[in-house]
């Protein structure tokens, strides 16, 4: 059987293969033991997404927690991961279990653990939980005695929407009626972004806003490939903006009125530039090793630090909590800001983009153009290589022994190894190779001020890795 591991963000498994009721009980028991060891009189919130059986997996978790005499608050309906994280902080509880496989294919489900600080569990915490899992698997689960009296039900939608709206400059919307197309991708964002936009006075059209555990035949990941339906609608009617969220609404997706997809890298630097100009001072911006260096340029201009972390929002969360970061983001589509929970929030990101567009009275593309005219343009690309596990091992071995001093005719000036291998090249171009912690693939990322050079760099790197 596949080992239960907590990767970049929680445990994910194939439903009925390794993601079974039995294994969910084991993980819930492991979390219960961790919670009992670390919190006095703990209360744990349990939430779930719209996937197949999610509400039933959540009920099982609540039962396991209650049989450990832990007080449980179980969500009455599917809830976005960021709203659950917000509930943890607002209610001052010990943590939350979220049943979701985020943007993975429909046949997956998963468990995220959110500790008391309202962000993704860090590696120290998940290592302890995994140790518990291994012990429980060896010793057997034993009998459970759920205590219904310890399980209460809650609804956090209103409180979350109100608090998120308090982070938005409502004046930016006054006297304008922004027309927005919203796509929650059959996921937890249903009734959140659209509702919040309506309260800001926007005219909203929503697509894909009912439960479909097959996600309309696509991955619930708001990228170009999975949002063809949104692109068609936005091109055929007149909108100011297209906004999306992923399966559990922690990731965002943004589309220009002409149907052009705005990448997560672009959204993050657009918001960084906007927030620096409109919000109070902060000391830093945080980004993962795979995210655009445009953030470094923007931070430098404003005498701020730009902190580089490994991939995973748990690392960005640390910066938001400890490094006074104004915004923390990652190219996979996650961001949060100072004053909010340290969990990536696709709903908040979408609303901030709407605010930026309303305030500046320009399309996202126009805003990006003006930022790029100030800082220069950077081209970036990510290639996800699905390969056999043997080839993957070989490629990772080759990364470890990477001895080249030149790539695509450019000198290598720095080698960073905190997450895979990142090589900085002489003209500020860079590439990164790392194994994904959520899927069975190797990711190759690159960035350069020159589009052709970028292609050459990526080609050379793939050649070297034999991928």
Ligand X SMILES: O=P(O)(O)OC[C@H]1O[C@H](O)[C@H](O)[C@@H](O)[C@@H]1O
Residue whose C-alpha is closest to residue 58's, from 43, 74, 81, 42: 74
Q: With respect to ligand X, which residue has the nearer C-beta, 8 or 29? A: 8
User: Distance between CA 93 and CA 463 in Å, rounded?
Assistant: 51
- Compare residues 23 and 102 and give the one whose CB is closer to ligand X: 102
By CB under 6 A, tell whether 113 contacts ligand X.
Answer: no
**Does 9 interact with ligand X (rule: CB under 6 A)?**
yes
Q: Which residues, numbered 69-108, are part of the site for ligand X (CB under 6 A)?
A: 102
Count of all residues that appear for the chain in the document:
467
Q: Which residue has the tokens 């027309």?
A: 179
Part in contact with ligand X (CB under 6 A); list of ranges 19-27, 165-173, 326-334, 345-353: 326-334
Locus of tokens 């809650």 = 154
98 strand-pairing partners: 47, 112
Q: How far is the CB of 122 from ligand X (least distance, A)?
A: 12
Q: Which helix (H) or strand (E) holds 44?
A: strand 43-48
Based on the shown chain and the rule CB under 6 A, indicate whether residue 436 belongs to the binding site for ligand X. yes
- Residues in 260-319 that interact with ligand X by CB under 6 A: 311-313
Residue 355 found at the interface with ligand X (CB under 6 A): no
Q: Is 439 in the site for ligand X (CB under 6 A)?
A: yes
Task: Give the per-residue contact string, 216-255, with ligand X (x = CB under 6 A; - = no).
Answer: ----------------------------------------
- Rounded to 5°, the CA angle 14-20-22 comes to 155
- Picking from 243, 419, 268, 277, the residue whose alpha carbon sits closest to that of residue 344 is 268
Contact status: 194 vs ligand X (CB under 6 A): no
Smaller CB distance to ligand X: residue 235 or 462?
462
Should residue 11 be labelled a site residue for ligand X when binding is judged by CB under 6 A? no
Residue with tokens 């994910």: 12
Measured distance between the N- and C-terminal CA atoms of the chain, rounded to whole angstroms: 28
Q: Please, which residues bridge with residue 386 across strands?
A: 441
Least gap, CB of 380 to ligand X (angstroms): 15
Tokens of 17: 């293969």
Beta carbon of residue 275, minimum distance to ligand X (angstroms, whole number)? 20
Residue 227 is classified by DSSP as G
Number of residues that bind ligand X (CB under 6 A): 14
Asked if 438 is part of the footprint of ligand X (rule: CB under 6 A), the reply reads: yes
Please state the φ and ψ torsions of residue 117, each to the nearest 5 degrees: -80, -5
Match 């917000």 to its residue by tokens: 86
Window 386 to 415, contacts with ligand X (CB under 6 A)? none
Give whichever of 102 and 256 is closer to ligand X, judged by the CB atom.
Answer: 102
How would you classify residue 249: left for phi > 0, otherwise alpha for psi between -120 and 50, otherwise beta? left
Instruction: Closer to ligand X by CB, 290 or 298: give it.
Output: 290
> Which residue lies nearer to ligand X by CB, 152 or 384?
384
Instruction: Tell me which residues touch ligand X (CB under 6 A).
Output: 8-9, 102, 311-313, 330, 332, 334, 436-439, 443
């Amino acid at each position: 059987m596949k080992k239960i591991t907590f990767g970049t963000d929680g445990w994910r498994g194939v439903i009925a293969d390794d993601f079974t009721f039995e294994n969910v009980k084991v993980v819930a028991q492991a979390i219960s033991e961790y919670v009992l060891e670390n919190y006095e009189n703990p209360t744990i919130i349990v939430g779930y997404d719209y996937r197949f059986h999610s509400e039933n997996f959540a009920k099982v978790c609540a039962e396991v927690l209650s049989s450990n005499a832990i007080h449980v608050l179980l969500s009455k309906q599917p809830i976005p991961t960021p709203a659950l994280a917000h509930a943890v902080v607002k209610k001052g509880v010990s943590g939350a279990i979220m049943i979701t496989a985020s943007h993975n294919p429909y046949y997956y489900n998963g468990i995220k653990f959110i500790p008391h600080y309202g962000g993704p569990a860090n590696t120290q915490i998940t290592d302890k939980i995994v140790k518990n899992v291994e012990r429980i698997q060896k010793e057997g689960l034993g009998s459970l005695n759920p205590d219904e009296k310890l399980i209460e039900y809650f609804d956090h939608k209103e409180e979350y929407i109100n608090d998120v709206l308090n982070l938005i400059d409502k004046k930016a919307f006054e006297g304008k009626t922004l027309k927005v197309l919203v796509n929650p991708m059959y996921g937890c964002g249903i009734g959140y972004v659209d509702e919040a936009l309506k309260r800001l006075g926007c005219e909203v059209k929503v697509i894909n806003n009912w439960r479909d555990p097959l996600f309309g035949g696509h991955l619930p990941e708001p990228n170009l490939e999975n949002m063809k339906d949104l692109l068609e609608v936005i091109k055929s009617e007149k909108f100011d903006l297209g906004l999306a969220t992923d399966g559990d609404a922690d990731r965002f997706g943004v589309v220009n009125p002409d149907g052009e997809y705005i990448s997560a890298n672009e959204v993050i630097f657009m918001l960084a530039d906007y927030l620096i100009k409109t919000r109070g001072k902060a000391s830093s911006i945080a980004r993962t090793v795979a995210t655009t260096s445009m953030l470094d340029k923007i931070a430098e201009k404003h005498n701020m630090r730009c902190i580089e972390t490994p991939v995973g929002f748990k690392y960005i969360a640390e910066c938001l909590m400890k490094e006074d970061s104004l915004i923390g983001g990652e190219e996979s589509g996650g961001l949060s800001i100072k004053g909010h929970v340290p969990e990536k929030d696709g709903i908040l990101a979408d609303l901030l983009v709407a605010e930026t567009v309303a305030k500046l009275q320009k399309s996202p593309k126009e805003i990006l153009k003006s930022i790029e005219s100030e800082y220069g343009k950077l081209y970036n690309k990510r290639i996800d290589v699905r390969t056999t596990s043997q080839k993957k091992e070989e490629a990772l071995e080759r990364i470890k022994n990477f001895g080249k001093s030149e790539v695509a005719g450019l000198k290598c000036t720095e080698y960073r190894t905190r997450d895979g291998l990142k090589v900085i090249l002489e003209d500020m171009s860079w590439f990164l190779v790392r194994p994904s912690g959520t899927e069975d693939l190797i990711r190759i990322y690159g960035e350069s001020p020159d589009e052709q050079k970028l292609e050459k760099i990526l080609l050379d790197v793939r050649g070297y890795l034999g991928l």
